[in-house]
Each structure stands twice: as structure tokens, then as C-alpha cells.
Amino acid sequence: MPDTDPADPPTTPSTTPAGSTDAAALDAADPLAAHRDLFVGSEQPLVYLDGNSLGRPLRVTGPRLAAFVDDQWGGRLIRGWDEQWMELPTLLGDRIGATCLGAAPGQTVVGDSTTVLLYKAMRAAVAARPGRHEIVMDTDNFPTDRYLAAGVAEELGLRVRWVDVDPAAGVTADQLAGVLGPDTALVALSHVAYRSSWVADGPALTALAHDAGALVLWDLSHSVGSVPLALDAWGADLAVGCTYKYLNGGPGSPAFAYVAARHLEGPDALTQPVRGWIGHAEPFRMGPDWAPAAGIRRMLSGTPPVVGMLALADMLDLLEAVGMPAVRAKSLALTRMVVDLADDELAEHGVEVVSPRAAERRGGHVTLRHPAMQEVTRRLWARDVVPDYRDPGGLRLGLSPLSTSFAEVRAGMDAIAEELAPPR
Ligand SMILES: *Cc1c(COP(=O)(O)O)cnc(C)c1O
């Protein structure tokens, strides 16, 4: 029961949100707060602010892995492949697609590392635009993406058309429009920028690339499980993302690839260059020549990394139950708290927020810049406060929505303030 008489309403309307930096009130009002206890380590005082680099394990994952060894691997042995393991890449792919990507079934598969799937996707895309010579990418994209684009260009006699971006933001529609043309084969961008957290305008940039006749490849590594996606609605062509960040798949868990259904059918269906037996139309025929598998399985190459997919399945159970809109709402409240605390309490020490302030452009992490941040990060780790550091001077706070509390953010921000201005 509210303790105010309805005839005498409080002067502050009840719809006024709690202060964006009042950790206790925010945790008390957080409908997802209890989920934090589902993660290993949540009972410890350690402050974990790097869920965008490696998500915490769920408590159910340890027993699930042990049971897999005993029952599935140890019990079923090679029969496990026929019984279910061979289908895991598409079963899990469809679940990622439905819960996180806005993708209908049959377009997403779990396979190799992010890097290897990005390579295959880039090669597949440029092969589908013969006679065009340019790959468009921004200079602040993740290193592996930049190296791959340059490598594919060198391999095939193409060019990379680099877009210079504001390192506190990311690629805008105007910038992209300025570099597209009849020679553009592929536009390859990150949806959420790993450094600044800028959320690119997925539907607008996809439409611009299509107007120029190019294909689009989205890197979703910093989006998936944090920012809702709608690949089918955007008309995206290809996408690749990581599963050990906000999907909590564990160190080195395999990545996923999405290819739109229209690129998986007919004589113009995309194919990728790593022609292994598992991406073959009939893997166990073991015939002399390669022929691509029907549908999304053609993106596969070798034996599926089954053990590496188990933890991911646990996180998908949780994300399916919670739903991405609720995850995003908490993510925005967490990142807003960091931005507001940085303005209120760290700006006086010379700290600058180098992530977007507008909610719709801000992903699941926030980067705070100060010349001392590399050293500050080293001292924070020593006191069990764990963000990460990215040049130049960027302390990155990755706030995994289901495993991070507002109190944890408050403790982390207080620790940063103390390290920047040690009490005397
Ligand atoms: C984390 C990340 C990767 C990781 O690639 P791996 O092959 O898993 O090492 C790639 N791209 C982006 C944008 C990332 O954030």
C-alpha cells in the first residue's frame, strides 16, 4: 500500500524516475535485479565492469558442462553427432536469430571464430558483386575487421575505402553517402563501436548501401545480447557476431553468421571460400568435388565446436525468458548512471565522456577518457575493480545488463574517482 492518501497526492508525480545516480533506489526498482544472482561470482565484492569483453558464466553452466562430459560425450560417444551435435550450429543459430537478431529461422549459424566468419562473409559478399572494386569501412573499426578488409582487398585486387570517424562517435549516414558509388562492392561496419559505444543507424546505412548497389556486412560483436537488432527488417545482407561478450559463451566460444534468406537460394546464392566437408551438400558422401550445402549451412567449414556452444545455450535460455527490450532498458539505465556520475563527479578531475550521450546512439558500454586511465586501470584491477583500457586514454566500462547492479556501478565509479584523486 502506498503510504500517501490518494486524496492528498505527493507533490512529485509517481512517474518521476528515481534519480539516475541513486544506486540503492535503482536496484530496488530494477525488475531484473534478481537475475544477477544467477551468475558465478555475484556474491563476491569484486566489481566487474568488463562484461563487453568476457561475460560472467551462469551458475547452471558448470553442472551442464559436467553432465555433458558424463552423459553426452562419455555416454553417447560418436552417436552424439547423429543424435544432435551436427544440428547444434543451426539450432543455436535460430535461437540467437529469434531472441537477439530479429532474424527468421534458417539464416543464422554458429561456427568458427568471429574473425574467421568475418573473413568468409567478406569474401562471399565481394564475390557477389563482380566488377566492383571497393570495400567501405571506417578507420575506427575493430582491428580484426580492418586487417581482414585490407587482406581481402590485397588478395583480390580490390581497395578499402576508409571512412574517417570521430573516435567519440561512429559512421553517420552523411559520411557513408559521401563514399558510396558504383564501385562499392561491400560496406562492412560495426553496429556498436567497440571503443566509443556509438550505435550505427542500421536501417538507414543498410538502405544507403543498397541504393548504391552494394551489400552490407554488420559486425554485431558489441551489440548482440545488449542492443536489440532487427536484421530482417533492416534488409541486412550479412552479419557476424561474437558469443563470449554479452552472450556469455565463455572464453573463445564460437561466433555466429547471418546471411539473409534471399542470398541463400538460387543460382546467385552466396558461397564462401573455406570449402570444408561440413559445409558440403552431402558431408558423408565424401565425394571427389565440393558442392555447397543448402541454406545457411554453406557458411560452415569443419566440425562444429560442440563443447564451446554449451554455455551460450544457457545464456540464450535466460535472454529468451527476459526478452531483449527489458535488457536494453536496464542497459540504458546503467550507462546513463555512468554518464551522469562522470559529469557530476569525475569531470572536475578532467575526465571526458567519449561515448554518445543520446540514448538511441549509446550501446552497452561507456568510455571515459583521461591521460592517466591506463595507470588507473592497473590500480583498479589490483583492488578488484575490473573495467578495461583502450588507447588513447580510454577506460571502458562494459555493463552487462543481467549481471551488473547499480551498486556495482556506483562502487566502480567511486573507485575511479579515488584513483584519480587519492585522498591525502
Ligand atoms: C570482440 C570483437 C571481435 C572478436 O573477434 P575474435 O575472432 O572473436 O577474436 C571482432 N570484432 C569486433 C567488433 C569485436 O568487438
CATH code of the domain in which 41 resides: 3.90.1150.10
CA–centroid distance, 155 to ligand 1, in Å, is 21
CATH number at residue 280: 3.40.640.10
Q: Which of 143-147, 191-195, 227-231, 418-422 has the lowest average pLDDT?
A: 418-422
Q: Which residues pair with 189 in a beta bridge?
A: 218
Q: What percentage of the chain exceeds 90 in pLDDT? A: 94
Per-residue pLDDT band at 421 (split at 50, 70, 90)? confident
Statement to judge: residues 372 and 413 lie in one domain: yes
Average pLDDT of the residues in 283-308:
96
pLDDT at 423: 61
Per-residue pLDDT band at 257 (split at 50, 70, 90)? very high
**3-class DSSP string for the chain:** CCCCCCCCCCCCCCCCCCCCCCHHHHHHHCCCHHHHHHECCCCCCCEECECCCCCCCECCHHHHHHHHHHHHHHHHCCHHHHHCHHHHHHHHHHHHHHHHHCCCCCCEEECCCHHHHHHHHHHHHHHCCCCCCEEEEECCCCHHHHHHHHHHHHHHCCEEEEECCCCCCCCCHHHHHHHCCCCEEEEEEECECCCCCEECCHHHHHHHHHHCCCEEEEECCCCCCCCCCCHHHHCCCEEEECCCCCCCCCCCCCCEEEECHHHCCCCCCCCCCCCCHHHECCHHHCCCCCCECCHHHHHCCCCCCCHHHHHHHHHHHHHHHHCHHHHHHHHHHHHHHHHHHHHHHHHHHCCEECCCCCHHHECCEEEEECCCHHHHHHHHHHCCEECEEECCCEEEEECCCCCCCHHHHHHHHHHHHHHHCCCC
Question: Is 142 one of the catalytic residues?
Answer: yes
Residue among 115, 117, 195, 253 to mutate when testing ligand 1 (max atoms within 8 A of CB): 115
Q: Which residue has the least CA distance to atom 8 on ligand 1? A: 114
Average pLDDT of the residues in 203-207:
98
Cβ(36) to ligand 1 under 6 A?
no
The atom number, within ligand 1, closest to the CA of 53 reads 1
Average pLDDT of the residues in 271-287:
96
pLDDT at 101 over 50: yes
Domain that holds residue 281: 62-318
Could you report the per-residue pLDDT of 308-342, keeping only the tens digit for each? Answer: 999 999 999 999 999 999 999 999 999 999 999 99
Statement to judge: residues 313 and 410 lie in one domain: no
Statement to judge: residues 140 and 275 lie in one domain: yes
CA–centroid distance, 221 to ligand 1, in Å, is 6
pLDDT at 14: 38
Residue closest to 186 by CA, chosen among 230, 273, 128: 128
Cβ(190) to ligand 1 under 6 A?
yes
- Give CA–CA dist 422/415, Å, rounded: 10
Q: What percentage of the chain exceeds 70 in pLDDT? A: 95
pLDDT at 97: 98
Average pLDDT of the residues in 235-246:
98
CA–centroid distance, 115 to ligand 1, in Å, is 6
pLDDT at 253: 98
Cβ(242) to ligand 1 under 6 A?
yes
Q: Is 4 inside any structural domain?
A: no
Q: Which of the residues 129, 195, 396, 410 is marked catalytic? A: 396
CA–centroid distance, 99 to ligand 1, in Å, is 21
pLDDT at 19: 80
Statement to judge: residues 312 and 173 lie in one domain: yes
Average pLDDT of the residues in 20-46:
96
pLDDT at 126 over 50: yes
Cβ(221) to ligand 1 under 6 A?
yes
Per-residue pLDDT band at 413 (split at 50, 70, 90)? very high
Statement to judge: residues 144 and 291 lie in one domain: yes
Cβ(218) to ligand 1 under 6 A?
no
Statement to judge: residues 239 and 307 lie in one domain: yes
Statement to judge: residues 253 and 285 lie in one domain: yes
Which amino acid would we find at residue 204? Answer: A
pLDDT at 15 over 50: no
Length of the chain: 424
Neighbours of 261 (CB within 10 A): 14
Residue among 114, 218, 226, 396 to mutate when testing ligand 1 (max atoms within 8 A of CB): 114
CA–centroid distance, 148 to ligand 1, in Å, is 12
Number of domains in the chain: 2
Question: Is 219 one of the catalytic residues?
Answer: yes
Q: Is 13 inside any structural domain?
A: no
Long-range contacts of 261-266 (CB under 8 A, 24+ apart): 261/104, 261/106, 261/107, 263/128, 263/237, 263/238, 264/106, 264/107, 264/295, 264/296, 264/298
Statement to judge: residues 172 and 267 lie in one domain: yes
